[in-house]
Structure 1
Amino acid sequence: MSRRDAAPPPPPPGGVLWSLAGDARMLLALPAALTMQVAHPAVGAGVDEHSVFRTDPWGRGERSLRSLQLWVYGGERAAQEGRRLRELHKAIQGTDATGRRYHALTPAYYAWVHATGYPVYAHAQQYIGRPFTDAQHRKLYAEWLQVGRVLGINDRDMPGTIEEFWAYYRKILADEIGTNAVVEELVATDRPVPPPDRGPLPLRLLLRALWPVLLPPLARFRRFVTIGFMPPEAREAIGLDWTDEQERSLRRLGRVVRVVVPLLPERLRYLPMARRARAEYRRSAARRPAPR
């Protein structure tokens, strides 16, 4: 296989994403990235018309999370997952709310879906982790570009530097982003959501019985973290309100998470695929001969 045809590798073990993407804290930030993605009219239309997020929200969430973990921790399976996603999106096309034809693999739309991850990770880290240094920001962005290559995004379709990224990002927010029916559903607190259908049968039955009581506070919390972990400029572009009191509550939540999560054992702090990959990396490092 030529170098040109070789599958792009995932970001390197031990990098910024290696410690970030599998950390359970980042689950709090994922709804913000998803909402920013669908705030683009083409992406929102594709999700509205082709996704099962209404009928199978838990299954869709589980599949999306597994896919994300594969991009970073999947090794050779990362490129396979990238190819699978592109194949899955080939049939997704239609007309968005502006009357514009869209296709899920149109480079500008596909790149935006990927691009949202970087500002959300960077923003959320200020609350639930240690804020990144400039060097870490640059390393994270470089690794996120590498994930883009895994997903089949050409370098010409993503800004090559952080400085170029922020200019691109502000332009998309100004020219494209706004609310739509999918955004409204993702931040709603009064929409019906089925109870989880994964896990042991006794747990599923218990959740089904308690769901009318559990759903309202869970829906309010989902809205809170979705808007809270969204960068302020994206909130403003979409038209989502955020008060000073909510900001104080988010900072209190962040302080608790920053203290508690690092004290947990790795089996609770990291998602399963990340935990296995990290353990294998440590075993491999231990087997390497010491430098002379």
Structure 2
Amino acid sequence: MSTSRDPEPLGPDSLTWRYFGDWRGLLCALWAGSMQNMHPGLGAGVEEHSHFFEERWERLFRSLYPIGGVVYDGPRAAETAREVRRYHDTISGVDSAGRPYHALDPDTFYWAHATFFMNAVLTAEHVAGGLSEADKRRMFDEHVQWYAMYGMSMRPVPATWEDFQAYWDRTCREVLEVNLATRQVLDLTDLARPSTLRWMPRAVWRVARLPIGRGFAWLTTGLYDPSVRQLLGLRWRRRDQVLFVLATRTISTAFWLVPFDRRYHPRARAGWLRVRGEWPADVHGPASPARWRARHAGAFTEDDAQPREGAPAR
């Protein structure tokens, strides 16, 4: 339960509520995962502790529930934030370059949060109608309030939206690196069939996953900063940019046909229902359904708190 010392959670008047739990944010999921993994500390933690690459869909969808809860759980949001933070307590080690890492290192933990914030910004900017500079400053202030829920050091958090832009650019240019975790997350050639498509014959999925994977990789390339494209050796032509704008505007327009509540992930939807009095105020939003539960022990990142089989002993 929350206490009087907990930071004030975000509410339905925030732009973050409007965009973070929107299903269109999944179009930026490969971007967010790769941006996180390019950070040395995060990449090492994924390589040595995570089962992500054996269960991409399960790991993605079960993560959405508690992470979304930090935004949408209202009076229980601080409790959810402490739960998410606890999952990272034992994720530590020494990477292949001899650098120590810990998931709760303030700079590492904040970078992950910064990518979630920018995921919401990119979703709004490209596939949800656009953002003004004033909106971006407002969302920046909200992301600070959101980050405070975790009880982490606020030292790495930039003071203003302009400072954040400089921080983001500096990190992209000077900190991020191409590592095994990055190459693996961007490799969609063997993308497993999600459980929601069990009705699809495996032979059909093996054919369908090729254009799906290429489409996501192309969209992700368009979302990257130019410096990140250069780091990854990716080409982006003027023609690509024109097609990118056309595709994202089409998605943005078409999505307005979707009823409001159906635009949101279940945990986010529960938040909207709660503020309308249609969900109990003292009850968490829904947990991850059984089809997304870990095939390994634990759930969300509890399973990541233990070293993977075959991970180097440190």
TM range, normalised to the smaller chain? 0.7 to 0.9
**TM-score for the superposition, normalised by structure 2:** 0.80
Tell me the distance in 1 between the aligned counterparts of 2:113 and 2:262. Answer: 27
Letter in 1 for 2:58: G
Letter in 2 for 1:265: P
Report if the CA contact (8 A) 2:36-2:112 is conserved: yes
% identity of equivalent residues: 32
Runs of 4+ in 1 over 4 A off after TM superposition: none
Number of residues paired by the alignment?
278
What do residues 242-270 of structure 1 show as CA deviations (whole Å, max 9, x unaligned)?
A: 23232222111112112110122124322
Report if the CA contact (8 A) 2:11-2:17 is conserved: yes
Q: Residue 193 of structure 1 aligns with which residue? A: 191
Tell me the distance in 1 between the aligned counterparts of 2:85 and 2:277. Answer: 33
Structure 2 unmatched ranges of 5 or more: 279-314
CA RMSD of aligned residues (A): 2.4
Report if the CA contact (8 A) 1:124-1:229 is conserved: no
The structural deviation recorded for 1:189 is: 4.0
What do residues 60-95 of structure 1 show as CA deviations (whole Å, max 9, x unaligned)?
A: 011221123212111233222221222111111122
What do residues 130-176 of structure 1 show as CA deviations (whole Å, max 9, x unaligned)?
A: 33222211110111111211223322221121122122222222221
Tell me the distance in 1 between the aligned counterparts of 2:14 and 2:64. Answer: 19
Report if the CA contact (8 A) 2:25-2:119 is conserved: no
The structural deviation recorded for 1:187 is: 1.9
Q: Residue 237 of structure 2 aligns with which residue? A: 243
Report if the CA contact (8 A) 1:127-1:254 is conserved: yes
Tell me the distance in 2 between the aligned counterparts of 1:148 and 1:173. Answer: 21
Structure 1 unmatched ranges of 5 or more: 285-292
| Mapped pair 1:258 → 2:257 | no
Tell me the distance in 2 between the aligned counterparts of 1:57 and 1:207. Answer: 19
Letter in 2 for 1:112: W
Residue 103 to residue 149, structure 1, CA distance change in 2 (3 Å)? same
Tell me the distance in 2 between the aligned counterparts of 1:130 and 1:219. Answer: 25
Q: Residue 208 of structure 1 aligns with which residue? A: 202
Report if the CA contact (8 A) 1:31-1:225 is conserved: no
Larger RCO: Structure 1 or Structure 2 (Cα < 8 Å, ≥ 6 residues apart)? 2
Q: Residue 156 of structure 2 aligns with which residue? A: 157
Letter in 2 for 1:148: Y
Tell me the distance in 1 between the aligned counterparts of 2:265 and 2:81. Answer: 20
Report if the CA contact (8 A) 1:187-1:226 is conserved: no
Q: Residue 65 of structure 1 aligns with which residue? A: 64
Residue 123 to residue 275, structure 1, CA distance change in 2 (3 Å)? closer
The structural deviation recorded for 1:238 is: 4.3
Residue 238 to residue 213, structure 1, CA distance change in 2 (3 Å)? closer
The structural deviation recorded for 1:275 is: 2.4
The structural deviation recorded for 1:179 is: 1.2
